Amino acid sequence: MSQDPLVVFTPSGKRGRFAVGTPILTAARQLGVDLDSVCGGRGICSKCQITPAYGEFPKHGVTVHEDALSDWNKVEQRYDDIRGLPKGRRLGCQATVQGDVVIDVPPESQVHKQVVRKRAEARDITLDPLVKLFYVAVEEPDMHEPSGDLERLVLALKEQWDLDDVKADLHILQSMQPILRKGDWKVTVAVHLGDVENPPRIMHLWPGYYEGAVYGVAIDLGSTTIAGHLCDLATGEVVASSGLMNPQIRFGEDLMSRVSYSMMNPTGAQEMTDAVREGLNTLFAQIASEAEIDTSLIMDVVVVCNPVMHHLLLGIDPFELGQAPFALATSDALRLRADDLNLSVHHSARVYLLPCIAGHVGADAAAVALSEAPDKSDDLVLVVDVGTNAEILLGDKTGVLACSSPTGPAFEGAQISAGQRAAPGAIERVEIDPATKEPRFKVIGSDLWSTDPGFDLAIATTGVTGICGSGIIEVIAEMRMAGLVDAGGLIGSPEQTGTDRCFADGRTYSYRLWDGDDANGPIAVTNADIRAIQMAKAALYSGARLLMDKRGVDQVDRVVLAGAFGAHISAKHAMVLGMIPDCPLDKVSSAGNAAGTGARIALLNRAARAEIEDTVRKIQKIETAVEPRFQEHFVNASAMPNAVDPFPILRGIVTLPDLSFNAGGGEGDTGRQRRRRRRG
Amino acid sequence: MSQDPLVVFTPSGKRGRFAVGTPILTAARQLGVDLDSVCGGRGICSKCQITPAYGEFPKHGVTVHEDALSDWNKVEQRYDDIRGLPKGRRLGCQATVQGDVVIDVPPESQVHKQVVRKRAEARDITLDPLVKLFYVAVEEPDMHEPSGDLERLVLALKEQWDLDDVKADLHILQSMQPILRKGDWKVTVAVHLGDVENPPRIMHLWPGYYEGAVYGVAIDLGSTTIAGHLCDLATGEVVASSGLMNPQIRFGEDLMSRVSYSMMNPTGAQEMTDAVREGLNTLFAQIASEAEIDTSLIMDVVVVCNPVMHHLLLGIDPFELGQAPFALATSDALRLRADDLNLSVHHSARVYLLPCIAGHVGADAAAVALSEAPDKSDDLVLVVDVGTNAEILLGDKTGVLACSSPTGPAFEGAQISAGQRAAPGAIERVEIDPATKEPRFKVIGSDLWSTDPGFDLAIATTGVTGICGSGIIEVIAEMRMAGLVDAGGLIGSPEQTGTDRCFADGRTYSYRLWDGDDANGPIAVTNADIRAIQMAKAALYSGARLLMDKRGVDQVDRVVLAGAFGAHISAKHAMVLGMIPDCPLDKVSSAGNAAGTGARIALLNRAARAEIEDTVRKIQKIETAVEPRFQEHFVNASAMPNAVDPFPILRGIVTLPDLSFNAGGGEGDTGRQRRRRRRG
């Protein structure tokens, strides 16, 4: 007797012999090959598409003849007639083994598809969401063996999909019976696969085979903006993205003023809770409308946010977060019913909140940790998420430390005389000629330097309206390199600097960056602007330095800048200011909205939730407010780049004139000012 | 070195040696002695009261001296000063071992107290509720080791009470922080201990030590009435009972008419759902008011009911229960949030519904099975819960069978010409002299026979208003024994019976039971009344007989009559009618409201829930509608007592004249009539 035919799957390389007539889907399952199916082999869903390869395969030691698979059967033919199969594809559940064959499983037919991330250094996400669809045929009721419809549905899920002990939410009990009968006892079931707190649950039923998708939303709930990505849970694709201003802004621009609002108004916390939930509902409506789906198809939600937003979303008064010891109500990850938060998504949808790391280091920082995975890094990485608070992570495979530091809003253009949010017309790039002290700059909306021909025309509609966060960093760093400002942060006089762009402005000097035009006045950098940036960057650096102390290192192998701001920052200029530790410039990278990405990972991969919860438990939390050395680091970090840290790598690339325009400069602000700004 | 002192606990008999200074509570815990404590040994709760015994104990081989326990310490003294300890009692957490001692643990100090049931044959209930109180001291927040308040509370529950992985409902997160601080980090925690679907959960927090109790309600949700028992979950005591009419009655007196209402009105099912939930909320308010507690202290609810009420309570359209194959939406036990059912009890309260056995055999029958435990019986027991449907259980340790049978409302006095509900003035006991054919009777509200002197005076206020269910059974059975009605159910003529109490009444004869007075007309039993009772009792008997067939037996060892009706029924008269199988009269007992008792067991003992779920899974369900022999049994059972079953035991006690007033009588009603009455 000849051997059974050999079936080789690519790309996995898994292989085995199967009797003639075995469906490819069956062979794949027996070998543990990752081949998708929603309909369970009924030729309906086409998720199990495979591509047979014909000819000689010396690598596999196989010759595949034209008749290696069965001819098309009626089911497959009907599917092709109605929906059309791509050329060369077969349905894995219908095509059966007839001879030796090599079967390629295309990426879209894999259950655990890879969701590719744009950044080269980032790990891809393995798709394994909490909500999946299953098509089942349910036994009809039988008076001789009475049992509930639900119990037979649950049995079908067990027998046909090996799902154990699935429960149902109440609304399923209420709606199930007519759906089962409408679908002639065949239904598509959306199942929440369960987690550490909850057994698997039926979330939704459709009569017959449901062709549509189900969705999840990953939300980055910031103090200022709320951003969401709508993901197809079967493909991992982001099908729509949307954002809006956090409606809580009417209660206070920064977090601390919102905490104050709640302290001073008996219903303040509740108003803000209502506002943020309304904001989320607006976002759901917006994003669903963009994707042309119903919000009830949103079946899973992941939220990352800072601790104050976290508490306000949950309806917890953030009172305790406004004062030492900054006690969180809860720091663990939360699995809640969307209904309990009054969120307008699917009835049975759950909301997952990532764990908070500490009272100032929230679920957003945890999401950054999930996205950037310092705990999996071979080299020592510093991850900085820059906002009004900077969240800072330092670590590698052997351990991770975390802290937050109150940078205040200066990096976002607030507290800066000509500061503004990043918007067309804002100066974002600056160069100053060290010889002539003359500047040139670019504004958002144009690629031309201000000294280029045509610049005036290019900015005709936007004008030059101010300096955005990245612009202020560049201009001050350029001033420092051009010898216009000393290490202590004092701007020199025209005499000291040799340029009349420096001009007396009260008791200090300012630097005129732009002369202005008919529409907008001149733009200058004042010494107060520099002081504000010094405070902010000193807070950031001293937080990082404190973690380096704890870790016992003087330098880091690489730096990752997270957050929207981090995406636009120039590594060189940031280092000239001493915002970040000395490090080769090519080892400074931007991670974009890492918190949002972390939310998306937690949405698409359920194991990632347990993983980040475990990571966060192991992270060593440092509270800067009670660290005696923080103050010392802060004072040293007020200088540009630093009063004591030498920055040798930086000094190898750039020239930092050794000037002092005033012996008393650079003492930094007071602890009281800093404390007042904390959490702002 | 001398040995450590010996500590002997009674009544458990557990003993061990403990170092001098060991608190009695500690010794008890180490030996696994069942000694309660809510405050964890802090001398606050006094749940650990023990009674030391002094003197010679030859049985234990111990002599207990006066100084066997430590002197009263300050904590114990303060407790006694403020609250007072009963004479001879000590606090087990404060009194320490000083010498050999015998310690009696009084029943009220046991965690797993026995809740004694009134009936001699019933098992007592071991108290082990799902909701318990725990007093804990919580670590204060520490900036050096940041963690959420909840996480430290959960840790305290773990460390101080060995509760693993306790979760918190959202409202706890929202209210917890001020309570922890108000209690100076000491709180009393109500914990739901978790079940197969849910992890343990914090339900409520009180600052400091909470002296009050928490409660559960066991509900018997009937088609006509809703009854509830409010139980103290720490003692098992019923502290209040209350009942009301099911407000759904306005949609139809019987279940079938309610199912019809839902079929004919698009919002019918929802209206009835709202009505029954409102009814439950009225009950909660009533019962809480009676006990002078707040409804928010009701932390656990158990409901038993028939399948139609079950579905309507859950908001499931009962449509499918109105037609073959009588498919339940779900038959398994349900654990729901009271909030999801809009029940006005504690926010975090859960509602437990016992499993349904089949489409006609509901959670009420399961509760009867839990209370009467046929599955634990050594002898073969028939349990009959008589209502408009009879639920019938037959079995012993080797297995249990169940069915329901559509008796209709005749047993409740409906369909009977002079029938009425059991109320003062209703005839409930009847005797007829076989020689004179003269009756005497008793009415509810008086202990006198109608022939006794003073009867007229005794009934002056109530009158004689009709015949209640037990009365109609007695009078027909007495008529049968007195030779006034034949086995087929025909009433004889005055000539045939020799009494003019039998009178022509249309085409048949009636029997005048009471002549009437100024206030009320005469009361007679018509031949139609007898027909109605024949149908009802035939349905009941043939259901029981069917189960006996399946079991392969011709008789049962004992009969338990459950339900309010069963409590008032005379075993002898029921057997004369042939309602129940032939059996020694002393083997027929009444279980009272066994369904309500089953609900109370499930409320007070969490293991009982798993137990009844397991029992119900194993019960063999028989659907009478599809059993070919049911019809045959029914026809035979229309005769009194039976056309084929001989009833030898009964015939040994009573005389059943062998008469026939008409050769064609007693053929029973048609299947169509019976089907129409099904589920009524």
Instruction: Decide if B623 and A143 are in contact by the 8 Å CB cutoff.
Output: yes
Q: Write out pLDDT tens, residues B39-57.
A: 888 888 899 999 999 999 9
Check: CB of residue A115 under 8 Å from CB of residue A160.
no
Q: Is the pLDDT of residue A391 over 80?
A: yes
B346 CA: distance to closest CA in chain A (Å) = 16
A vs B, Cβ pairs < 8 A, gives: 142
* Confidence (pLDDT) at B676: 44
Alpha-carbon gap, residue B306 to B563, rounded angstroms:
13
Q: What angle do CA B519, B522, B523 make, to 5 degrees?
A: 120
Q: What is the mean pLDDT of residues B620-633?
A: 91
Is B274 at the interface with chain A, CB within 8 A?
A: no
Alpha-carbon gap, residue B218 to B220, rounded angstroms:
7
Please name each of the domains of chain B with its CATH number: 6-109 (3.10.20.30), 115-207 (3.10.20.880), 217-353 (3.30.420.480), 371-409+532-677 (3.30.420.40), 410-529 (no CATH)
Is B97 at the interface with chain A, CB within 8 A?
A: no
Check: CB of residue A212 under 8 Å from CB of residue A583.
no
Per-residue b or e along B238-262, where b marks 16 or more CB atoms closer than 10 Å to that residue's CB: bbbbbbeebbbbebbbbbbebbbbb
Q: Which residues of chain A does B623 touch, with a Cβ-Cβ cutoff of 8 Å?
A: 143-144, 146
Is A402 at the interface with chain B, CB within 8 A?
A: no
* Confidence (pLDDT) at B258: 85
Is A319 at the interface with chain B, CB within 8 A?
A: yes
Helix (H) or strand (E) holding A538: helix A527-551
- Identity of the residue in A146, A149, A170 whose CB atom sits nearest the CB atom of B336: A170
Q: Is the pLDDT of residue A666 over 50?
A: no
B132 CA: distance to closest CA in chain A (Å) = 20
* Confidence (pLDDT) at B77: 93
Task: Provide the pLDDT confidence category of residue A58 given band limits of 50, 70 and 90.
Answer: very high
- Express as a percent the part of chain B with pLDDT over 90: 79
B67 CA: distance to closest CA in chain A (Å) = 49
Minimal-distance CA residue of chain A relative to B360? A146
Q: What is the mean pLDDT of residues A75-94?
A: 92
Alpha-carbon gap, residue B667 to A672, rounded angstroms:
100
Backbone angles phi, psi at B608, to 5 degrees: -60, -25
Q: Which residues of chain B does A350 touch, with a Cβ-Cβ cutoff of 8 Å?
A: none
B373 CA: distance to closest CA in chain A (Å) = 21
Q: Write out pLDDT tens, residues B188-246.
A: 999 999 998 899 999 999 999 999 999 999 999 988 889 999 999 999 999 999 999 99
Check: CB of residue B374 under 8 Å from CB of residue B384.
no
Helix (H) or strand (E) holding B256: helix B255-264
* Confidence (pLDDT) at A615: 96
* Confidence (pLDDT) at B665: 40
Q: What is the mean pLDDT of residues A204-224?
A: 95
More confident residue, A254 or B357: B357
Instruction: Decide if B150 and A340 are in contact by the 8 Å CB cutoff.
Output: no
Q: Is the pLDDT of residue A674 over 60?
A: no
Q: What angle do CA A609, A612, A614 make, to 5 degrees?
A: 105
Q: What is the mean pLDDT of residues B433-453?
A: 95
Instruction: Decide if A328 and B148 are in contact by the 8 Å CB cutoff.
Output: yes
Q: What is the mean pLDDT of residues A459-484?
A: 94
- Identity of the residue in B173, B356, B357 whose CB atom sits nearest the CB atom of A329: B173
Is A352 at the interface with chain B, CB within 8 A?
A: no
Is A285 at the interface with chain B, CB within 8 A?
A: no
Q: Is the pLDDT of residue A473 over 70?
A: yes
Alpha-carbon gap, residue A93 to A115, rounded angstroms:
25
A165 CA: distance to closest CA in chain B (Å) = 10
Q: Is the pLDDT of residue B669 over 90?
A: no
* Confidence (pLDDT) at B680: 36
User: Which residues, other chains included, contact A282 with Cβ-Cβ below 8 Å and sequence gap of 6+?
Assistant: A244, A247
Q: What is the mean pLDDT of residues B150-155?
A: 97
Check: CB of residue B248 under 8 Å from CB of residue B276.
yes
Q: Is the pLDDT of residue A318 over 60?
A: yes
* Amino acid identity, position B524: A
Q: Which residues of chain A does B176 touch, with a Cβ-Cβ cutoff of 8 Å?
A: 329
Alpha-carbon gap, residue A575 to A588, rounded angstroms:
10
Q: Is the pLDDT of residue B115 over 70?
A: yes
Task: Provide the pLDDT confidence category of residue B121 given band limits of 50, 70 and 90.
Answer: low
Provide the edge-to-edge strand list for the sheet that holds B426-432.
Answer: B439-443, B426-432, B466-467
Q: Is the pLDDT of residue B595 over 80?
A: yes
Q: Worst-scoring range by mean pLDDT, A85-89, A108-112, B177-181, B396-400?
A: A108-112
Is B458 at the interface with chain A, CB within 8 A?
A: no
Task: Provide the pLDDT confidence category of residue A1 given band limits of 50, 70 and 90.
Answer: low
Alpha-carbon gap, residue B599 to A85, rounded angstroms:
58
Q: What is the mean pLDDT of residues A411-437?
A: 91
Q: What is the mean pLDDT of residues A383-401?
A: 92
- Identity of the residue in B144, B177, B340 whose CB atom sits nearest the CB atom of A623: B144
Instruction: Decide if B143 and A324 are in contact by the 8 Å CB cutoff.
Output: yes
* Confidence (pLDDT) at A263: 86
* Confidence (pLDDT) at B120: 63
In which residue are the tokens 């008999």 written? B13
Residue A195 buriedness (CB in 10 A; 0-12 / 13-18 / 19+): middle
Alpha-carbon gap, residue A221 to A308, rounded angstroms:
11
User: Which residues, other chains included, contact B630 with Cβ-Cβ below 8 Å and sequence gap of 6+?
Assistant: B542, B543, B546, B624
Average pLDDT in chain A: 92
* Confidence (pLDDT) at A121: 64
Is B336 at the interface with chain A, CB within 8 A?
A: yes
Q: Is the pLDDT of residue B76 over 70?
A: yes
Q: Is the pLDDT of residue B255 over 90?
A: no
Q: Write out pLDDT tens, residues B157-203.
A: 999 999 999 999 999 999 999 999 999 999 999 999 999 889 999 99
Q: Write out pLDDT tens, residues B13-27.
A: 999 999 999 999 999
Q: Which residue of A154, A174, A351 is the best one to mutate when testing the B interface, meaning the one whose CB has the most B CBs within 10 A?
A: A174
Q: Write out pLDDT tens, residues B302-317.
A: 999 999 999 999 999 9
The neighbour count for residue A543, using CB atoms within 10 Å, is 29
Alpha-carbon gap, residue B59 to B64, rounded angstroms:
13
Q: Worst-scoring range by mean pLDDT, A62-76, A113-127, B239-253?
A: A113-127
The pTM assigned to this predicted structure is 0.88
Q: Which residues of chain B does A329 touch, with a Cβ-Cβ cutoff of 8 Å?
A: 148-150, 173-174, 176-177
Q: Worst-scoring range by mean pLDDT, A107-116, B171-180, B331-340?
A: A107-116
- Identity of the residue in A173, A320, A625 whose CB atom sits nearest the CB atom of B330: A173
Minimal-distance CA residue of chain A relative to B197? A199
Alpha-carbon gap, residue A199 to A201, rounded angstroms:
6
Q: What is the mean pLDDT of residues A97-104?
A: 95
Q: What is the mean pLDDT of residues B309-332?
A: 93
Is A147 at the interface with chain B, CB within 8 A?
A: yes
Give DSSP secondary structure letters for B287-331.
HHHHHT--GGGEEEEEEEE-HHHHHHHHT--GGGGGSTT---S--
Is A627 at the interface with chain B, CB within 8 A?
A: no
Check: CB of residue A343 under 8 Å from CB of residue A351.
yes
Task: Provide the pLDDT confidence category of residue B1 given band limits of 50, 70 and 90.
Answer: low
Is B314 at the interface with chain A, CB within 8 A?
A: yes
Is B221 at the interface with chain A, CB within 8 A?
A: no
DSSP class of residue A36 equals -
- Identity of the residue in B140, B151, B621 whose CB atom sits nearest the CB atom of A330: B151
